[in-house]
Chain A
Amino acid sequence: MSPALNEKPFAEELPAASAAGVILDGRYLPPPEDKDGKLWVRTSALVQADAQELYAMWHDVEAAPAWQEQISQVVTTGERISHWTMQSDEKTIEWDSEILADEPGRRIAWRSIGGESDNAGEVIFEEAPGGRGTIVTVLQEFRMGKLTSAWETFVGRNPKQAVIENLRHFKALAETGEIPRAKHQPHGDRGVIGKMKASTYGEKVPIPSGSN
């Protein structure tokens, strides 16, 4: 596996451990800890597809609504800039995102540059040991503060879990061409408690379409 990537996804100075890589000089690197109002999540998936193909899929930001939860629209507005809209019921929040690093087949890093979400992230694509597919590792940072807590209540899912679920959807889409779903299936009367449980099971958040 490649060494950790040190380029900072966020504009300010970050510790060396803040990149998506999980190995540095032969040592395992734990994910960054939450502190100073910042939340971090690092998650990875082993995908049966080649790195170039997965990079291209991630890079196609306008197709993000097909696999990212509650993203309703992404429009490319500049060479490195795109405008993101997130929708939950009838409420929406919007922000702009800028690509900071772009290494075809290997890595993408980005950050928000204004709007109602304060986040930065990085994804790396590496060949798995033994050639068993591609390991996709995502590191995402959220700034706590008024914005992020508003975002969290808005999204209805812990933002860390949302990153994990999005990578899961990405993998399923890349491997099978669809995202598994069991909502909207027939069932008998759920009763009062059953309806409450549906949201604890994470079923309140709609699963992205898997296609445009």
Chain B
Amino acid sequence: MKAVCWMGKSKVETLTVEDPQLLNPHDAIIKITRTAICGSDLHLYDGFIPTMESGDILGHEFMGIVEEAGKEVTNLRRGDRVVVPFTIACGNCLFCKKKIWAACDNSNPNAHLMEAAYGYSGSGLFGYSHMMGGYAGGQAQYARVPFANVGPLKIENDLPDEKVLFLSDIFPTGYMAAENAQIQPGDTVAVWGCGPVGQFAIASAFMLGAARVIAIDRLPERLEMARSLGAITVDYSEEDVSVLTALKDLTGGIGPDACIDAVGLEAHSAQLQGTYDKIKVALLMETDRPSVLRQAIQAIRKGGTLSVPGVYGGLLDKVPFGAAFGKGITMKMGQTNMHNYMKPLLERIENGQIDPSYIISHRITLDQAPEMYKVWRDKKENVTKIVIDPWAETAA
């Protein structure tokens, strides 16, 4: 089959590799009909996530048709149409029973690597380094899905793939970000980052009762999209704009009730801070560039809730913990507990409350993926979301 492989930092190639096989009784093989490139893939592309190995197949947002089901997979059969969650969960450990699926104890074969770095291991993820399981990803024509009896969501309507594909990650991720923000009706919520995760966090914040959402980014097409959802936008790159002042001005001086960091460890920063973090990261004295996190802690109102869907990987420098303590804020974060949200969000799509396909800007083939990783990183061509049809041929 064809697959998009990570071949080193800033190096992605579409290669012909072996087809996946069933390895365990709860596995299924999925013939992929649509897959996507995520903001999280950029952290791999840019070399921020350790334990990637040349040849690893990328991709964790995919859906398709069940090609083959293992002997213990009783709920799926060949021909079923499914969306696959990017976190792999066993369904039986203490964490799965508590519905903290992204903390599953039994889905990471390389748990010892994560234990060394984090104390305990989270669940395995598709296409996201050996530390996170070493599972082959879904930017390919087929994928092996472990614990297929627990994760994949059957799609039994005739909605097109593009409307349900984002149930595999970013829609639930944006939704959990809003849920983690503990929004009370009437709240003002600030969202940093208007990428796909930010977009769905904005839409979900309104669904959960926010009276005002303030969206922060620098890319005009993304800010435009946020305004179309009803958000007030702030362009942090404009010279006369201070995000902290803007957030005070827009909240009568008290700050947002909730802040959502939908940017993560590769935040841009126009100021000196940015240079400071770049140097520290380059000198291996810091692993992440937490400028949005710093700003959000500073901006949030007293007793507010900070929700962090943006990914962080390691050691952060100059995080104003005193401000967090002084204001008595709550922080919630983590990989998305996908399995809690897929079904209820599918219902919202089915009954017409939202059509997640509005964020798609590019539709490509597997062969075009390496080129598009660059476009995605550099945010060129007004890119907002890239979807891949793994069976399409590039027109000559």
Q: Which residues of A contact B97 (CB under 8 A)?
A: 48
| Binary CB contact string for chain B from 76 to 96 against chain A (1 if under 8 A, 0 otherwise) | 000000000000001111100
Residues of B within 8 A of A210 (CB): 24-25
Interface of A is mostly: loop
A194 to chain B, nearest CB (A): 5
Q: Can you give 29 A-B contacts (C-beta < 8 A)?
A: A48-B94, A161-B112, A164-B112, A165-B112, A175-B93, A176-B26, A178-B24, A178-B25, A180-B133, A181-B109, A182-B110, A182-B124, A182-B133, A183-B109, A184-B21, A185-B57, A185-B135, A186-B17, A186-B18, A186-B19, A186-B136, A188-B3, A188-B5, A188-B13, A188-B54, A188-B55, A189-B54, A190-B55, A201-B110
Specify the chain B residue showing the minimal Cβ separation from A201.
B130
Report A-chain residues with C-beta under 8 Å of the C-beta of B56.
187-188
B90 contacts across to A, CB distance below 8 A: 172, 175-176
* A207 touches B (CB below 8 Å): yes
Nearest CB on A from B56, distance (A): 6
Q: Which of B72, B92, B136 contacts A187 (CB 8 A)?
A: B136
Cross-chain contact A133 with B17 (CB below 8 angstroms): no
Contact between chains at A194 and B55 (CB < 8 Å)? yes
CA distance A189 to B107 in the complex (A): 25
A-contacting residues, B1-46, CB 8 Å = 1, 3, 5, 7, 13, 15, 17-21, 23-26
- Cβ distance A165 to chain B, nearest Cβ, rounded Å: 7
Contact between chains at B106 and A172 (CB < 8 Å): yes
**A177 neighbours in B (Cβ, 8 Å):** 25-26, 72
Given A48-B92, A187-B55, check contact A176 B130 (CB 8 Å). Answer: no
**Are B94 and A197 neighbours in the complex by a CB distance under 8 Å?**
no
Complex Cα–Cα for A181 and B26 (A): 12
> In the complex, A211→B24 CA distance in Å?
10
User: How many A residues touch the partner, as a band?
Assistant: 35 or more
Q: How far apart sit A127 and B13, CA to CA, in the bound complex (Å)? A: 51
Residues in chain B near residue A190, CB distance under 8 A: 53-55
Q: How far is the CB of B15 from chain A (nearest CB, A)?
A: 4
Report the minimal beta-carbon distance from B183 to chain A, rounded to whole angstroms: 31
A161–B97 Cα distance when bound, in Å, is 28
Which B residues have a C-beta under 8 Å from some C-beta of A? 1, 3, 5, 7, 13, 15, 17-21, 23-26, 51, 53-57, 72, 90-94, 97, 105-113, 124, 130, 133-136, 140, 144, 146-147
Asked if A132 and B51 sit within 8 Å, CB to CB, the answer is no
The answer to the question of A11 belonging to the interface, with a C-beta cut-off of 8 Å to chain B, is: no
Complex Cα gap A133–B7 (Å): 43
Establish whether residues B134 and A201, one from each chain, have CB atoms under 8 Å apart when the complex forms.
yes
Q: What separation, in Å, do the CA atoms of A185 and B109 have in the docked complex?
A: 13
Who on chain A is nearest to B140 by CB?
Answer: A186
Residues on the A chain within 8 Å of B105, using CB:
171-172, 175
A46 at the interface (CB under 8 A from B): yes
Chain A residues at the B interface, C-beta cutoff of 8 Å: 46, 48, 132-133, 161, 164-165, 168, 171-172, 175-191, 193-194, 197-198, 201-203, 207, 210-211
User: In the complex, are the beta carbons of A180 and B109 less than 8 A apart?
Assistant: yes
* B111 surroundings in chain A (CB, below 8 A): 168
Contacts of B134 in A (CB 8 A): 182-183, 185, 201, 203
Most chain A C-beta atoms within 10 Å of own C-beta, residue among B21, B130, B144: B130
Give A46 Cβ to nearest chain B Cβ, in Å.
6
Does B23 lie within 8 Å of A187, measured CB to CB? Answer: no
Q: Within the assembled complex, what's the spacing in Å between the Cα atoms of A58 and B130?
A: 30
Question: A191 to chain B: which residues have CB within 8 Å?
Answer: 54-55
Asked if residues A187 and B17 are in contact (CB atoms below 8 Å), the reply is: yes
Additional A-B contact list (19), CB under 8 Å, known A181-B24, A202-B113? A48-B93, A161-B112, A176-B93, A177-B26, A178-B25, A178-B26, A180-B24, A182-B133, A185-B20, A185-B57, A185-B135, A187-B53, A187-B136, A188-B15, A190-B54, A191-B54, A194-B53, A197-B53, A202-B112
User: 3 nearest interchain CB pairs?
Assistant: A188-B5, A188-B55, A182-B134
* Known interface pairs A177-B25, A184-B21; A201-B113 also in contact (CB < 8 Å): yes
Chain B residue numbers with a CB within 8 Å of A202 are 110, 112-113
Query: Of residues A171, A189, A193, which shows the largest number of chain B Cβ atoms within 10 Å of its Cβ?
Result: A189
Q: Which one of A161, A180, A188 contacts B108 once the chains associate, using CB atoms below 8 Å?
A: A180
CB distance from A171 to the nearest CB of B (A): 7
Q: Is the CB of A188 within 8 A of B133?
A: no
A194 vs B53: C-alpha distance in the bound complex, in angstroms? 6
Are A185 and B92 interface neighbours, CB within 8 A? no
Given contacts A171-B106, A187-B17, A201-B113, contact A180 B94 (CB under 8 A): no
Which residue from A161, A182, A187, A197 sits with its C-beta under 8 Å from B109? Answer: A182
